[in-house]
Amino acid sequence: MKKWLFIGIALLLAVLVYFAPFEGLTEPARRTFSILVIAAVLWISEAIPLYVTSFVIAFLEVVLLKNVLDVSYKVYLHPFFDPIIVLFLGGFVLSRALNKYGIDERITRAILSKTGNSPKKILFGMMLVSAFLSMWMSNTATAALMMTVAITIINTLPEKEPFKIGLVLGIPFACNIGGMATPIGTPPNAIAISSLANLGITISFIKWMMLALPIVIVILLITWWLLSSIYKSKIKNIAYSMEKLPPVGIKDKWVVAIFIITVILWLTGQIHGIPTGVVALIPVIAFIGGGFINRDDFRSLGWDILILMGGGLSLGVAMQQSGLASWMVERLNVGGLASPLIVILIFSSVTVAMTTFISNTSTAALVLPIAITMGVAPSAMALVTAFSASIAMILPISTPPNAIAYGSGLVSVKDMAKTGFTVTLVSILIVTGTSVLLMRLFGYM
């Protein structure tokens, strides 16, 4: 019932927007505006599965814009196999191989064995590993792995030990933060890169990391400090042991080798000139062709996420082609009204508010095409919007890692909201301030 109500609202708003007396809005732009409104309502309400909304977008674009724009319908379908989607596919395969061969678990143990046994150091180690793995793997998979380790540690602690809460909260927070660091860390990053590419602005893999990594490190350190101060432990050392892992096999070594080669090629794109999307085919070919990953693994790679991203990109293309984007630049040109920093801060806050309640990919797919048309440095707006889409720390429903941590029964909604709100506020300020600073430094503003 609710589903049909939202579908009805989407259609009604689309019609209202179409007939609204917007000055200077051409017929194609008007139709695209209606599609944007339908996408917004469906993505926010989740009345139909998120990825189905992407198909709806593609369908409406082809049908409604065919006769009013001199553009091939293929233009709206290309984004579904955009190089950034292939990059993500490569990332998914890499992530699956790291997980299947237990490389993620070995990395976890290697880092934790070096960080020491005091609660503060354990929390630091756990957050560091969570953030590092989230840079390359799915945030959900990372959170699930790290929670398994956390449970082992927690089982050795007395019942009313506050450190337990800090540890359980630290994992999802670090996973969300870590995802910002690489283009493949989380879908919003990819949507930002692709949206900017449509404007002719290229951000390479290494450039993204140079911009994102300092921000990630600062937010991670502050979050760690906050958690270890709020959930202080009286215990000096925690003795815990983990099950022994099987010896490293030849296949494990191959997985690591292919992972390293892929990452090096991603980072050195400007030297060898092979696009990141093409490099991403290396793990796909090597792992699937080499039998490391089977058909079932391939089928369960997260195709729905790729389709959702494709829908966001396709919407961005339609906005550009129809002139809706440039109309927005003219009408919503807030760059001349307020300082860029204020505009970026407002956009960051709006994105965070949205991502707290809806999927970060949907948030980015909706906000990014609008953010880059605000008349303020589009690269800064894209970067900040993508980062802000990952600042979802307040509620268990904000991100899958939060839900996983909450599912342990060790933290309450109040615990997460209280700490998450502080982390969110700090993150907004850091993301906004540092992004602007770094973008100026790298000549994007």
Partner 1 sequence: MGTVKFETCSRCGSVDVKNNVYIKRGEPMRIYVECAKCGSFIARYTLTKYTSDKPYESLLKNLRKERFLGSRSAAKIIEEFSVPVSEAFEHIKKLRETLKEKRKVEEIIVELEKT
Restricting to residues 84-143, which ones interact with partner 1 according to CB under 8 A? 92, 96, 99-100, 138, 140-141, 143
Pick the binder of partner 1 from 28, 30, 37, 51 (CB under 8 A). 51
Find out whether 65 and 256 touch, Cβ atoms under 8 Å.
no
User: How far is the C-alpha of 81 from the C-alpha of 109, rounded, in Å?
Assistant: 37
The vertex-321 CA angle with 309 and 344, nearest 5°, equals 60
Picking from 397, 395, 399, the residue whose alpha carbon sits closest to that of residue 418 is 395
Pick the binder of partner 1 from 107, 112, 238, 358 (CB under 8 A). 358
Nearer Cβ to partner 1, position 74 or 299? Answer: 299
User: How far is the C-alpha of 313 from the C-alpha of 192, rounded, in Å?
Assistant: 9
Smallest separation (angstroms) from partner 1 to the CB of 296: 7
User: 292-301 long-range CB contacts below 8 Å, 24 or more apart?
Assistant: 292/97, 292/100, 292/101, 292/251, 292/254, 292/255, 293/93, 293/96, 293/97, 293/100, 297/96, 297/100, 298/93, 301/89, 301/92, 301/93, 301/96
Restricting to residues 146-165, which ones interact with partner 1 according to CB under 8 A? 147-148, 151
Assign 269 to helix, strand or coil: helix
Stretch of 18-26, 75-83, 264-272, 298-306 contacting partner 1, by CB under 8 A: 298-306
Smallest separation (angstroms) from partner 1 to the CB of 100: 7
Pick the binder of partner 1 from 37, 127, 305, 364 (CB under 8 A). 305
Nearer Cβ to partner 1, position 100 or 207? Answer: 100
Smallest separation (angstroms) from partner 1 to the CB of 101: 8
Stretch of 106-114, 293-301, 345-353, 437-445 contacting partner 1, by CB under 8 A: 293-301
Nearer Cβ to partner 1, position 224 or 406? Answer: 406
Nearer Cβ to partner 1, position 67 or 156? Answer: 156
Which x/- pattern over 376-415 shows residues binding partner 1 (rule: CB under 8 A)?
----------------x---xxxxx-xxx-xxxx------
Assign 243 to helix, strand or coil: coil
144 lies in the binding site for partner 1 (CB under 8 A): yes
Half-sphere exposure of 97 (CA within 13 A, CB side): 30
Pick the binder of partner 1 from 83, 162, 302, 433 (CB under 8 A). 302
296 lies in the binding site for partner 1 (CB under 8 A): yes
Please count the residues of this chain forming the interface with partner 1, following the rule CB under 8 A: 43
Query: Token pair 């508010």 is at which residue?
Result: 353
Q: 56-65 in b/e burial notation, b at 16+ Cβ within 10 A?
A: bbbebbbebb
Find out whether 58 and 77 touch, Cβ atoms under 8 Å.
yes
Instruction: Write the burial class of residue 300 (CB in 10 Å: 0-12 exposed, 13-18 middle, 19+ buried).
Output: exposed
Stretch of 108-116, 196-204, 288-296, 414-422 contacting partner 1, by CB under 8 A: 288-296
Distance of CA 413 to the CA centre of its chain: 23
Nearer Cβ to partner 1, position 129 or 141? Answer: 141
Instruction: Write the burial class of residue 20 (CB in 10 Å: 0-12 exposed, 13-18 middle, 19+ buried).
Output: exposed
Nearer Cβ to partner 1, position 118 or 140? Answer: 140
Nearer Cβ to partner 1, position 204 or 408? Answer: 408
Instruction: Write the burial class of residue 160 (CB in 10 Å: 0-12 exposed, 13-18 middle, 19+ buried).
Output: exposed
Nearer Cβ to partner 1, position 399 or 419? Answer: 399
359 lies in the binding site for partner 1 (CB under 8 A): yes
User: How far is the C-alpha of 178 from the C-alpha of 403, rounded, in Å?
Assistant: 17
Smallest separation (angstroms) from partner 1 to the CB of 435: 25
Give 280-339 as a DSSP string: THHHIIIIIHTTSS-HHHHHTS-HHHHHHHHHHHHHHHHHHHHTHHHHHHHHS-GGGTS-
Nearer Cβ to partner 1, position 222 or 397? Answer: 397
Nearer Cβ to partner 1, position 140 or 422? Answer: 140
Q: How far apart are the first and last CA of the chain?
A: 48
User: How far is the C-alpha of 214 from the C-alpha of 115, rounded, in Å?
Assistant: 21
Smallest separation (angstroms) from partner 1 to the CB of 359: 3
Which x/- pattern over 243-282 shows residues binding partner 1 (rule: CB under 8 A)?
----------------------------------------
Q: Which residues bind partner 1 (CB under 8 A)?
A: 46, 49-51, 92, 96, 99-100, 138, 140-141, 143-145, 147-148, 151, 292, 294, 296, 300-302, 304-305, 308, 358-359, 361-362, 392, 396-400, 402-404, 406-409
